[in-house]
Amino acid sequence: MVSAAKTSSEASPIRLGMVGGGQGAFIGAVHRIASRIDGHYDLVAGALSSDPDRAAASAAELGLDPERSYGSFAEMAKAEAAREDGIEAVSIVTPNHVHYPAAKAFLDAGIHVICDKPLTSNLADAKKLAKLVDKTGKLFVLTHNYTGYPMIRQAREMVGKGVLGNIRLVHAEYPQDWLTEKVEDTGAKQAVWRTDPKQSGAGGSIGDIGTHAWNLASFVSGLETDSLAADLDSFVEGRPLDDNAHIMLRFKAKGKEKPAKGMVWCSQVAPGNENGLKLRIYGTKGGLEWTQADPNYLWYTPFGKPKQLITRGGAGSGPAAGRMTRVPPGHPEGYLEGFANIYSEAAMAIRAMRRKKGKVPKDVIFPTVEDGVMGMRFIEACVKSSKKNGAWVKV
Amino acid sequence: MVSAAKTSSEASPIRLGMVGGGQGAFIGAVHRIASRIDGHYDLVAGALSSDPDRAAASAAELGLDPERSYGSFAEMAKAEAAREDGIEAVSIVTPNHVHYPAAKAFLDAGIHVICDKPLTSNLADAKKLAKLVDKTGKLFVLTHNYTGYPMIRQAREMVGKGVLGNIRLVHAEYPQDWLTEKVEDTGAKQAVWRTDPKQSGAGGSIGDIGTHAWNLASFVSGLETDSLAADLDSFVEGRPLDDNAHIMLRFKAKGKEKPAKGMVWCSQVAPGNENGLKLRIYGTKGGLEWTQADPNYLWYTPFGKPKQLITRGGAGSGPAAGRMTRVPPGHPEGYLEGFANIYSEAAMAIRAMRRKKGKVPKDVIFPTVEDGVMGMRFIEACVKSSKKNGAWVKV
Amino acid sequence: MVSAAKTSSEASPIRLGMVGGGQGAFIGAVHRIASRIDGHYDLVAGALSSDPDRAAASAAELGLDPERSYGSFAEMAKAEAAREDGIEAVSIVTPNHVHYPAAKAFLDAGIHVICDKPLTSNLADAKKLAKLVDKTGKLFVLTHNYTGYPMIRQAREMVGKGVLGNIRLVHAEYPQDWLTEKVEDTGAKQAVWRTDPKQSGAGGSIGDIGTHAWNLASFVSGLETDSLAADLDSFVEGRPLDDNAHIMLRFKAKGKEKPAKGMVWCSQVAPGNENGLKLRIYGTKGGLEWTQADPNYLWYTPFGKPKQLITRGGAGSGPAAGRMTRVPPGHPEGYLEGFANIYSEAAMAIRAMRRKKGKVPKDVIFPTVEDGVMGMRFIEACVKSSKKNGAWVKV
Amino acid sequence: MVSAAKTSSEASPIRLGMVGGGQGAFIGAVHRIASRIDGHYDLVAGALSSDPDRAAASAAELGLDPERSYGSFAEMAKAEAAREDGIEAVSIVTPNHVHYPAAKAFLDAGIHVICDKPLTSNLADAKKLAKLVDKTGKLFVLTHNYTGYPMIRQAREMVGKGVLGNIRLVHAEYPQDWLTEKVEDTGAKQAVWRTDPKQSGAGGSIGDIGTHAWNLASFVSGLETDSLAADLDSFVEGRPLDDNAHIMLRFKAKGKEKPAKGMVWCSQVAPGNENGLKLRIYGTKGGLEWTQADPNYLWYTPFGKPKQLITRGGAGSGPAAGRMTRVPPGHPEGYLEGFANIYSEAAMAIRAMRRKKGKVPKDVIFPTVEDGVMGMRFIEACVKSSKKNGAWVKV
């Protein structure tokens, strides 16, 4: 039941750097754990904070060589590119507006990039980045981490094999409650930048979690969104970015079938919801349901038959999920393992590129810069539609 | 823990008639059971089918006096009004297009009406019916039966008391799967009339189950819908009425608060969903979640505190739910008991009208003809919005 | 999906009497609702309380003819047997110690008996009653009501067909919390008699709920208990009867197979448990799990395949459950419907006896006086084992 | 919400060795991931298999210096103790019968031991080991990994603070299904040694998973077991060790309170159960329920109040759980993180011992050699009781 594959690549770690993720950050620690779980990476350099003191203190805490703790990503890209033992890849875990300049600096320096989502703070930057990735031939891995959950891979495989028949409906939602009150006024770091258009871009909840929901819907269903109608709100007085979004989706047709429809809801003001990401897909032959908080389960509902609960590693779970599985069924894996799966896929790709001059194996799957561009299109379409009173807008 | 109130009214049953509900029907049997559970009614007359043979056979099966088994509702209204022991109330459980003429006949004959939803097959009829109810002073009870569930009463009471603070979000959904394939072509009676605009009216899934979801959202939240944007589909080839609907809602403001928003989804083509009616409401202080398939539970999620699971009859369950409760917590009540609660509320009202010349006690609550008119407005607004490519339409 | 059978027997109700169940009682109201749901019975006589005033008031509330409201069960048995329109069956819903004399009186008078469990307050009475039933040829229906749940019938059918292979394990539990504190000292009627050996017999929780759990385990598994080891406790200071019991079971062998083993736990002092009756059965080919609080679901876990959730009325649900089903899947039925199923089975049997001189149809299944005797053996074996420090005792 | 503590100790890893855990093993990979998650350890040496080829291949795969891949644990203990950069701690992840000699070798060599459970293959060895630990003053950490789950720490903290009042009942169960058929005959490595008394000791399911359940019950309740009655079975023909056990427990009294009682069930032949470890504890004031498959939730049921669902990192979750938490509530942590928590506690202790000459901080908690001895007592008592037909046996 247990994937031995995880063990086989524990040898010869990839040299990794990090931008952002210093003391007080949340997602930086997640990236570090994710990079460690399968033993593929060594964190050896960092520009961990824009505040020099915090950067140094953070580096010391992580046991980095002080020489490789940098004051800025620009300095780091230059210095590491010049070292023989320089980093092979960098993780960018800053607020959104830094993604573009940082990614550019490392790509230009010939270093692979693993970057948090959303890709950038606006679509124009996103497009420039996509071009740059194409030009440099370097890897660009976007950490839409939920695509790393084994049962999400399982769902994608089932849809791809036609188990559900023609897809008619895709429902995704991502409710949270942590911005129910105006916590950004208390100085809470996570809330401050996420509600600030200068650091986050045009989307609030849409950019932070709505993109995750929509990306997951696209990843599993394999459908492209044609257009959407969105109704965005800032329920908390004086909050400049949306903290709730209601969205209706129309997908592009596949063959002669009626095109699928969908709904997305994301919210940061729905009390009782911690990270309630949920995906439901229905086709002519059956349905699937998955919830992030209970990620080891996938409901499969073949039409006219009893519902089945497929468990990670259990009966009915196929090869796509098996590649992402470490421990036997009934021993839950979680958020960090799902995140680690993205890092491990990236490692597979980076090693393949070393060996084979750029050819990533077919079964290695991770979100790319193109997915990031699509995410930015989604955000901008939502904002545009909402400003036009919910009119349908092409994505 | 057990409500003694149920026992106190077992005496002196109300004389009841029924229109529709003969052999092969589904909802007629439900109404009959609902009317029996608390012992408030005696079914003594019927026009059970438009097919005379089926009407007679059905009446015999139910043990009706053959003399009081009628060939048409018109005949029945006339004859029963003329009897000294004639029916005091009638249940109308036909396809939608018969609701209006049948209700009119009984109201005109001075007989109270208990009628299935949606109120009529079009808004014009609905308005006429409302005027007639007003004019005759008779009771009109619309069986939006889900409003009879104890935990729905509990939720409504909590919202009304301000436990959730100002309401920001209302999400209702009602997915089913029984029309995933084109069963109406097999002659299945339930499917045939529900997919036929002549019998159902302009709404398919919207009229059959969407109205239930929206009615419940309104009943619990106490909010009025200002406008909506809808995207209706008939996924099954050649089906003239919608079998899926995506709807965004905007509610009217209450005081100075930002007006609430909402979403409604109903579907008859979502495999794995039997009768998946679900309601979620979020305010500034907390949230509530309820699912029809597991109706004895109500999740209450006060912001910043652990989630609480309130159970029917258990701790935290208040008087509004208590009135609707027969057995101790942990002994589940279900759909039929919820339906019976509407019948029992109607019985309380009918008896009160006998005693007090028309005054219904304050704590007796049931959906009225006005709710029916609102439901028809909702259906027509959905159809209109969808035809206008999802434009926002006033309800 | 909906059983039409329920409708077919609404005609010609059976004349029913009741002993016990007056004001302040709990289970009497449950029996009355259960008798009404499918329209099989008319309650026409009663000896509703041993307190004459309460008996009269209760009868008036229920609309009984005052002439047929009796001061004692003895008087009622005699008078009703003498009437041409006398009752055909009686429901006995008193504390345990009254079961035997009351049942005897009605059986002797030629009246069928529907009796609450446990059968009597001691094994000797139980055996005498069994002989009397045999001698009189009257029906005796014991309301082990949980056997009336559709998914319990489904489980029994699956086990009977060998779907689980050879049964190895049977686990049943019935935790409650309502006697966590010494409520009997507050005068609470339900608690007072249940903790009084004179009214309850030798078993406390064992008799009140442990018998239900064990009966259900036997009913579904089809296994006979060979012996048991029990550890009974009265956790609440000064309570004379057990409020918690731990029991290990050994079943009799079937053929050459190793005999199955089991565990039973019942408790009235486990906070958070309302009526947590749960049954789990495991065989060589698969398992089943069912919980009373969520009775419309049955987990079926075929070994080596994904878990399946069978729903009442849904796919995978067979004829045994279908006979017990009124409304479509997803519309929950509950405790009262399960109870009503026992009453309806009894009605089928009573009608069959009228028509066919005593022959009850094969598919009509209900707990009998023999099940009641077995239940008394179980209670006495538990008490005996516990007194002998948990030694294994034959049942 | 997120514990920053995890970051603070990422620096200066502890040098770790491993005995067992080569290719084809399961638990070795789990230990390695657990050791990596928080960055506390560097795996630098190993005697990974008793088969020299497999040992070498496994070492290479893990990137170990070939010089530090040893042919036996004895050789490894000697060589590493002699190196200036020798390992500070060793993980022993072999079948049970090797635990004792291996642990002895490393303790004698002055190296801390992290050892899988059960402690040894018999009680005599266990006692000798406990003496040796005492004599050498080295750390001995037993990986009863379930004690590392945050919500288990939360439960323990709540019980310790008296939130449940006096404990009356403790129910633990650990059902699995993987030995439902005789897989050991197929050569499956995991099954072969677990069903072999020479490698496992006297307990089958009791030693493999029963000890986990009982250890967890003891850890959370803080209660000592006085005696037990056990009924062990080998349901699969020809299997020499138990694959199912039913156990009744009596705990030692605390103060004047009636002593608590309990039940333990473990099984390897219950189809549909993957790793169904579950713990329920009830006291005079409330109850707790926790399930390993859904470990981020803890049900808290205060008597007379609505049930509460406490989530890891969420409201109601206290400091003991907080120390064990990495990511925000709603982002699930799982089995590997729970296991990692034991490794991190061990790291805290090892570092403290370096700094403070042996003094482990009070809030650092992990299972010790004493817990291991208790576990062996439990196994032997179960076997003894079962042989004496379930007689009560002192633990």
Phi, psi (deg, nearest 5) at residue B194: -70, -20
> Where residue C243 sits, what CATH number does that domain have?
3.30.360.10
Structural domain including D130 reads: 4-138
- Please give the residue of chain A at the shortest CA–CA distance from C313: A306
Q: How far is CA D111 from the centre of its chain?
A: 20
Residue that has been written with the tokens 């940082």 in this structure: A102
The confidence band for D31, taking pLDDT boundaries of 50, 70 and 90, is: very high
Let me know whether C79 and C189 are in one domain: no
Q: Which of D105, D138, D171 is the last residue of a domain?
A: D138
Distance from CA of D307 to the nearest CA of C (A): 7
| C272/B contact by beta carbon, under 8 A | no
Q: What is residue C292's predicted lDDT score, i.e. its pLDDT?
A: 98
User: From the CB of residue B316, how many other CB atoms can be counted at a distance below 10 Å?
Assistant: 17
Contacts of C151 in chain A (CB under 8 A): none
Instruction: Kindly give the pairing relationship between strand A140-142 and strand D167-175.
Output: unpaired
Q: Which two tokens stand for residue B361?
A: 């006690």
- Distance separating alpha carbons of residues B148 and B145, to the nearest angstrom: 5
pLDDT at C214: 98
| Binary contact (C263, D246; C-beta < 8 A) | yes
- Cβ-based neighbour number of residue D4 at 10 Å: 12
**Mutation target vs B (from A159, A169, A236; most B CBs, 10 A cutoff):** A169
Question: Number of helices and strands (H, E) in chain A?
Answer: 14, 14
Give the per-residue pLDDT at A273. Answer: 98
Beta-carbon separation of C306 and A306 below 8 A: no
Query: Which of these, B275, B342, B323, B336, lies nearest to B91 by C-alpha position?
Result: B342
Exposure pattern of B202-217 as b/e (b: 16+ CB <10 Å)? bbbbbbbbbbbbbbbb
Q: What is the reported pLDDT for B154?
A: 98
Express as a percent the part of chain B with pLDDT over 70.
96
- Please indicate, yes or no, if residue B288 is contained in any of the structural domains: yes
What distances in angstroms separate CA D309 from CA A272, D290, D298, one per listed residue? 11, 10, 6
Task: Find the largest Cα–Cα distance for chain B.
Answer: 64
Q: What is the DSSP letter of D328?
A: -
Strand partners, D213: none
Q: Are residues B167 and B216 located together in one domain of the fold?
A: yes
Q: Which residue of B has its CA nearest to D309?
A: B307
What is the rounded average pLDDT of the residues D224-240? 97
Q: Is the pLDDT of residue D3 over 70?
A: no
Residues A263 and A309 in one domain: yes
Contact call for D276 and A330, based on CB within 8 A = yes
Instruction: Supply the pLDDT for residue D6.
Output: 41
Clarify whether residues D77 and D157 are in a common domain. no
Contact B273 A287 (CB under 8 A): yes
Asked if D376 and D122 count as a contact pair (C-beta separation under 8 A), the reply is: yes
- H or E element in which residue C151 lies: helix C150-160
Interface residue A303 vs chain B (CB under 8 A): yes
Catalogue the long-range contacts made by D67-71 (C-beta closer than 8 Å, 24 or more residues apart).
D68/D17, D68/D44, D69/D45, D70/D45, D70/D46, D71/D47
DSSP state of A291: E
Residue-wise burial string across B218-236, b where 16 or more C-beta atoms lie within 10 A, e elsewhere: bbbbebebebbbbbbbbbb
The Cα–Cα gap between A307 and A377 comes to 36
Picking from B240, B243, B242, the residue whose alpha carbon sits closest to that of residue B270 is B243
Q: Is D286 helix (H, G, I), strand (E, B) or coil?
A: strand
Query: What was the pLDDT predicted at C3?
Result: 39
> For a pLDDT cut of 70, what percent of chain D falls above it?
96
**How many Cβ pairs within 8 Å bridge chains B and D?**
32
Q: Is the pLDDT of residue A238 over 60?
A: yes
Please check the confidence at residue C236 and state whether its pLDDT lies above 90. Answer: yes
Taking residues A120-149, what's their average pLDDT?
97
Classify residue A52: in a domain, yes or no. yes
Q: Beta strand A14-19 with A89-92: parallel, antiparallel or unpaired?
A: parallel
Spatial CA neighbour of B126 closest among B234, B74, B206, B201: B201
- Confidence at residue B1, expressed as pLDDT on a 0 to 100 scale: 29
Q: Give the DSSP H or E segment for B227.
A: strand B225-233
Question: Is B84 within a domain?
Answer: yes
Contacts of D61 in chain A (CB under 8 A): 7-8, 10-11
Mark whether D192 and D303 lie in a shared domain.
yes
Tell me the three state secondary structure of residue C172.
Answer: strand
From chain D, pick out residues whose CB is under 8 angstroms from the CB of B305: 315-316
Task: Determine contact, residues D21/D47, Cβ cutoff 8 Å.
Answer: no
The pLDDT of residue C190 is 85
- Burial grade of A353 (CB within 10 A; 0-12, 13-18, 19 or more): middle
Residue A275 has pLDDT above 60, yes or no: yes
Inter-chain touch B334–C330, beta carbons under 8 Å: no
Q: Is D294 on the interface with A (CB under 8 A)?
A: yes
In a mutational test of the B interface, the residue from C194, C331, C351 whose CB has the highest number of chain B CBs within 10 Å is C331
- pLDDT surpasses 70 at B378: yes
| Confidence label for A11 from pLDDT (cuts 50, 70 and 90) | low
Higher pLDDT, C358 or A143: A143
CATH at residue C58: 3.40.50.720
Share of chain A above pLDDT 70, in %: 96
Asked if A235 and A156 touch (Cβ cutoff 8 Å), the reply is no
B195 and B281: one domain? yes
Residue corresponding to tokens 């769902």: A155
CB D314 within 8 Å of CB B303: no
The answer to whether residue C1 scores a pLDDT higher than 90 is no
C331 touching B, CB under 8 A? yes
Record the tokens describing residue C284, joined without a space: 């060589």
Inform me whether the C-beta atom of residue C168 falls under 8 Å from chain D C-beta atoms.
yes
- Please state the three-class secondary structure of chain D as a single string: CCCCHHHHCCCCCEEEEEECCCCCCCHHHHHHHHHHHCCCEEEEEEECCCCHHHHHHHHHHCCCCHHHECCCHHHHHHHHHHCCCCCCEEEECCCHHHHHHHHHHHHHCCCEEEECCCCCCCHHHHHHHHHHHHHHCCCEEECCHHHHCHHHHHHHHHHHCCCCCCEEEEEEEEECCCCCCCHHHHCCHHHHHHCCHHHHCCCCHHHHHHHHHHHHHHHHHCCCEEEEEEEEECCCCCCCCCCEEEEEEEECCCCCCCCCEEEEEEECCCCCCCCCCEEEEEECCEEEEEECCCCCEEEEEECCCCEEEEECCCCCCCHHHHCCCCCCCCCCCCHHHHHHHHHHHHHHHHHHHHHHCCCCCCCCCCCCHHHHHHHHHHHHHHHHHHHCCCCCEEC
Alpha-carbon distances, residue A220 vs A289, A368, A382, B40, C360 (angstroms): 11, 15, 21, 53, 56
Closest by Cβ to C335, choosing from B4, B293, B331: B331
Query: Which among D95, D114, D138 is the end of a domain?
Result: D138
In a domain, residue B11? The reply is yes
Domain final residue pick, C108, C138, C168 = C138
Cβ of C306 within 8 Å of Cβ of A309? The answer is yes
Is A133 found in the same domain as A188? no
Quick one: tokens of B133?
A: 């109810």
Residues 6 or more apart from D70 whose CB is under 8 A from it? Answer: D45, D46, D47, D55, D76, D79
Beta carbons within 10 angstroms of residue A387's beta carbon: 12
Are residues A176 and A148 in contact, defined by beta-carbon separation less than 8 angstroms? Answer: no
Judge whether residue D2 has pLDDT over 60: no
Is D62 in the A-facing interface, judged by CB distances under 8 Å? yes
- Distance from first CA to last CA of chain C, Å, rounded? 41
Cβ distance B265 to A171 less than 8 Å, yes or no, reads: yes
Task: Nearest by CB to C392, from D270, D283, D389: name it.
Answer: D389
Task: Tell me which chain B residues have a C-beta less than 8 angstroms from the C-beta of D304.
Answer: 315
Task: Say which residue the tokens 């993780």 belong to.
Answer: A91
Are both C272 and C161 inside the same structural domain?
yes
- D385 contacts in chain C (CB < 8 Å): none
Give CA B53 to chain center in angstroms. 30
Whether residues D29 and D54 share a domain: the answer is yes
Residues B192 and B313 in one domain: yes
Does the CB of A311 have a partner CB in chain C at under 8 Å? yes
Taking 80 as the threshold, does the pLDDT of residue C358 lie above it?
no
Neighbours of chain C (3+ CB pairs under 8 A): A, B, D
Q: What is the mean pLDDT of residues C181-190?
A: 89
* Residue ranges of E strands in chain A: 14-19, 41-47, 89-92, 112-115, 140-142, 167-175, 225-233, 244-251, 261-267, 278-283, 286-291, 297-302, 307-311, 393-394
Interchain pair D62, A335: CB under 8 A:
no
Q: pLDDT band for D337, please (50, 70, 90 cuts).
A: very high
In the numeric block, which tokens belong to residue D222? 């803080």
Asked if A229 and B233 come within 8 Å (Cβ–Cβ), the reply is no
D363 close to C (CB below 8 A): no
Alpha carbons within 13 angstroms on the beta-carbon side of residue D23 total 15
Provide mean pLDDT across the span C259-288.
Answer: 98
Q: Which residues contact D235 (CB under 8 A, 6 or more apart)?
A: C168, C258, D243, D244, D269
Chain B positions in Cβ-Cβ contact with residue A171 (cut-off 8 Å): 265
Work out the pLDDT band at D371, boundaries 50, 70, 90. Answer: very high
Interface test with A, best of D10, D64, D146, D178 (most A CBs within 10 A): D10
**Which of B151-165, D3-17, D25-39 is the least confident region?**
D3-17
Please name the member of C4, C39, C61 whose beta carbon is closest to the beta carbon of B11: C61
Beta bridge partners of D114: D91, D141
CA angle B317-B322-B328, nearest 5°? 80
Within an 8 Å CB–CB cutoff, is residue A169 touching chain B? Answer: yes
Q: The tokens of B370 are what?
A: 């006005």
Which pTM value belongs to this model? Answer: 0.96
A171 and B235 in contact by Cβ < 8 A? no
Does residue D350 form part of some domain?
no
Q: Tell me which residue of D340, A205, C107, D328 sits closest to B168, measured CA to CA.
A: A205
Q: Would strands B261-267 and B167-175 be described as parallel, antiparallel, or unpaired?
A: parallel
The answer to whether D315 contacts B308, with C-beta atoms less than 8 Å apart, is no
pLDDT for B157 equals 98
In a domain, D359, yes or no: no
The tokens of A3 are what?
């994937």
Q: How many domains does chain B have?
A: 2
Question: Is B367 inside a domain boundary?
Answer: no
| Tokens read off for C52 | 């004459």
pLDDT at D1: 29
Q: CB–CB of C308 and A304 under 8 A?
A: no
Task: Please state the ipTM of this predicted complex.
Answer: 0.95
User: Above 90 in pLDDT, residue C83?
Assistant: yes
Residues A22 and A103 reside in one and the same domain: yes
The H or E element that residue B297 is part of is strand B297-302
Residues paired with residue B298 on neighbouring β-strands, in sequence order: B310
Residue written as token pair 């230990």: D31
Q: In chain B, which residues have their Cβ closer than 8 Å to the Cβ of C336?
A: 37, 326-327, 333, 336-337
Chain B with chain C: Cβ pairs closer than 8 A: 140
What is the distance between the alpha carbons of residues D133 and D204, in angstroms, rounded to a whole number?
26
Q: Cβ contacts (< 8 Å) between D310 and chain B: which residues? A: 306
What pLDDT was estimated at residue A1? Answer: 28
Q: Is residue D361 part of a domain?
A: no
Contacts of C292 in chain B (CB under 8 A): 330-332
pLDDT of D142-194, one tens digit each? 999 999 999 999 999 999 999 999 999 999 999 999 999 999 999 888 888 88
Q: C175 and C302: one domain?
A: yes
Average pLDDT over residues A7-23: 80
User: How far is C343 from C350, CA to CA, in rounded Å?
Assistant: 10
Q: Give pLDDT, residue B81.
A: 97
Inter-chain contact D315–B304, Cβ cutoff 8 Å?
Answer: yes
Please answer yes or no on whether D331 and A328 come within 8 Å at the CB atom.
Answer: no
